[in-house]
A and B are shown apart, each in its own frame.
Chain A
């Protein structure tokens, strides 16, 4: 258990469906991240949120829409996805800078991921 939970763990959806992935962290972190891991490819960063503000969008298509209502929750809203969007979607969190302790040094805590299949 890393303190980062993701739901659902598995999701199958059609190309016309709308669904959302949820991430919650119980670590008091203020930075949260979405990553995508396609089969046999490295993890790719999608979005970064710092204190609820999006600070990075890594050229992600608009069919992926993130939302960060507070520092503990992060959502990824999905609509009109394509089969090639099938992947493991991972959420992570980290401390902001300026805090004390080793965990300020870019140590990211990852959730277990959501395995998404788009039919």
Chain B
């Protein structure tokens, strides 16, 4: 699986957009970009994934650059409940039960 690089921490004011970057310069053509988050002492929660097109769901938007070497997760209106560690994971869809390799992620602190 391709390696990802994320900033260790970020701050965001409540109500503003949180933009979390991820670099994955060695991504292969068949690898997807996944985002999960983990609120303190809970299990990780799936947020969104994409291959090459931008994606949006009720939680967030995922913007993937044209060369697919980086992506940005956007939380459009961050709330205090969005304070968590956000993980960017690159993984091929292998067709079997497959593991996710979590890095250290970005710790997002949303403040008043």
Contact = CB atoms under 8 A, between A and B. Distances in A.
Nearest to A31: B97
Interface string B41-83: 1111110010000000000000000000000000000000000
A85 B28 CA distance: 35
Interface string B81-112: 00000000001011111111111110000000
Contacts, number: 67
A43 B96 contact: no
Given A42-B104, A105-B49, A110 B43 contact: yes
Contact of B43 (A31, A90, A96): A90
Interface residues of B, number: 23
A39 B93 CA distance: 30
Contact count band on A: 20 to 34
A109 B49 CA distance: 14
B100 A50 contact: no
A55 B44 contact: no
Contact of A88 (B41, B100, B105): B41
Contacts of B91: 106
B15 to A, nearest CB: 27
14 contacts: A31-B97, A33-B97, A42-B103, A42-B105, A43-B102, A45-B100, A48-B98, A90-B44, A97-B95, A106-B32, A106-B91, A107-B46, A111-B43, A113-B43
- Ordered nearest first, which 3 A-B pairs have the shortest CB separation? A110-B43, A31-B97, A50-B97
